[in-house]
Amino acid sequence: MTEPDEPTTPTTDSSAADAGSDGGSGTQGPAAQPDEVAESKPQPGGTQSSAERSGGNGGDSLEPYGARPAEPVVAGRARRGMFGVSGTGDTSGYGGLRLPAYVPPAAERPYGGWFDEFVDDFLAALDENGIPRDAIQQITVDRGEITFYVRREHLVGVCRTLRDDGALRFEFCSSVSGVDFGEDVPQRLHSTYHLTSMTYRRRIRLEVCVDVDDPHVPSIVDVYPAADWQEREAWDMFGIIYDGHPGLTRILMPDDWEGHPQRKDYPLGGIPVEYKGTEVPPPDQRRAYS
């Protein structure tokens, strides 16, 4: 009677494995084919394509630009960091970085790109809707973006024209936000609107400038309903009053909160530290460790 053979474990031919690892002609799958060249990938800092280089398309750059500077709507102040030091180049907020508040100057034609054709269509649409052209105080082109400074009494009509005119079609207001350029700056509060035309794939910015003593701006909720909550935030943080808003109440701070925390004149104050009986001083009064 013959005994059954013991089960055996399959073994790998060491010579074949060595041949595969040494670049032989074995056929063990993609991992064993060292002659296969990996697809090249662009490396950071490599050569730019013609679309990225300035002056592409034979040197005819279409990037918008501003012409000779004109008088800006508002001029900013120098910004000072903590502890009163200057010139450190530190951007952490603790090194006393001084940076002038930059406000782009008014641009002059040609604006560049699609901006010139759009401005012509925009002004023609304002004429058709009985809105005077001086409703646009200033046009600014900076960093490839175009901004229209609008007189507040014409804001709603301008927005409705931008939304409804067939040559413009800015159907979407993506954001409403506030800006405070600081004390001693005329019309320091700006209400900023970013509009998008999904039809023509274009984006523009509108800005309305108001004084801190008269921070009233018409609400655009009737034109862009999604501006509801964003106008509430700008009121809550900056104190910009949107006349005609259906319910202008705080959205981030408690209803009984005093002041508007993102205003430049808002007191920094201190933060009570629990259990220690001490108080963290305001940032501009803290000790410098450098």
Residue 47 — pLDDT band, cuts 50, 70, 90?
very low
In this structure, are residues 227 and 251 in contact, taking their beta carbons and an 8 Å threshold? no
Which among 216, 235, 237, 239 is positioned nearest to 227, based on CA atoms?
A: 235
Q: Is residue 191 predicted with pLDDT exceeding 70?
A: yes
Q: What is the CATH number of the domain that holds 174?
A: 3.30.460.80
Average pLDDT, the chain: 76
Which among 126, 152, 276 is positioned nearest to 210, based on CA atoms?
A: 152
Q: What is the pLDDT of residue 251?
A: 95
The residue assigned the tokens 């935030």 is 233
Please count the other Cβ atoms lying within 10 Å of the Cβ belonging to residue 184.
7
Q: What's the whole-number mean pLDDT along residues 189-195?
A: 97
- Whether 6 is covered by a domain: the verdict is no
The residue assigned the tokens 């670049």 is 23
Q: What is the pLDDT of residue 288?
A: 63
- Whether 38 is covered by a domain: the verdict is no
pTM above 0.85, yes or no: no
Residue 55 — pLDDT band, cuts 50, 70, 90?
very low
DSSP codes of every residue in the chain: -PPPPPP------HHHHHHHHTT-S----GGG-TTPPPPP-PPTT-PPPTTTSTTTTTT--------S----S----EE--GGG-------SSSS---EE---PPPP-S---TTHHHHHHHHHHHHHHTT--GGGEEEEEEETTEEEEEE-GGGHHHHHHHHHH-TTT---EEEEEEEEE--TT-TT-EEEEEEEEETTTTEEEEEEEEEBTTB-EEE--TTT-TTHHHHHHHHHHHH--EEET-S----SSS-TT--S-TTSTTS----EEETTTTEEEPPGGGSPP--
Q: Per residue in 211-245, pLDDT tens?
A: 999 999 999 999 999 999 999 999 999 999 999 99
Tell me the two tokens of residue 173: 């207001």
Mutual orientation of helices 155-164 and 115-128 as an angle, nearest 10°? 110
Number of domains the chain is built from:
1
Q: What's the whole-number mean pLDDT along residues 94-105?
A: 63
Q: What is the pLDDT of residue 19?
A: 46
- Whether 37 is covered by a domain: the verdict is no
For 211, phi then psi, to 5°, come to -80, 155
CA distance 181 to 190: 8
CA distance 142 to 5: 85
Q: What is the pLDDT of residue 158?
A: 98
Q: What is the pLDDT of residue 96?
A: 53
Q: Is residue 247 predicted with pLDDT exceeding 90?
A: yes
List the domain range (segments joined by +) for residue 230: 78-283
Q: Is residue 154 predicted with pLDDT exceeding 90?
A: yes
Range ranked top by mean pLDDT from 71-85, 103-117, 228-242: 228-242
Q: What is the pLDDT of residue 122?
A: 98
Q: Is residue 116 predicted with pLDDT exceeding 70?
A: yes
- Whether 147 is covered by a domain: the verdict is yes
In this structure, are residues 108 and 70 in contact, taking their beta carbons and an 8 Å threshold? yes
CA distance 23 to 54: 46
- Whether 55 is covered by a domain: the verdict is no
CA distance 20 to 16: 6
- Whether 51 is covered by a domain: the verdict is no
Q: What is the pLDDT of residue 30?
A: 47
Q: Is residue 205 predicted with pLDDT exceeding 90?
A: yes
- Whether 73 is covered by a domain: the verdict is no
Radius of gyration of the chain (CA): 31
CA distance 256 to 144: 42
- Whether 18 is covered by a domain: the verdict is no
Q: What is the pLDDT of residue 16?
A: 46
CA distance 234 to 10: 73
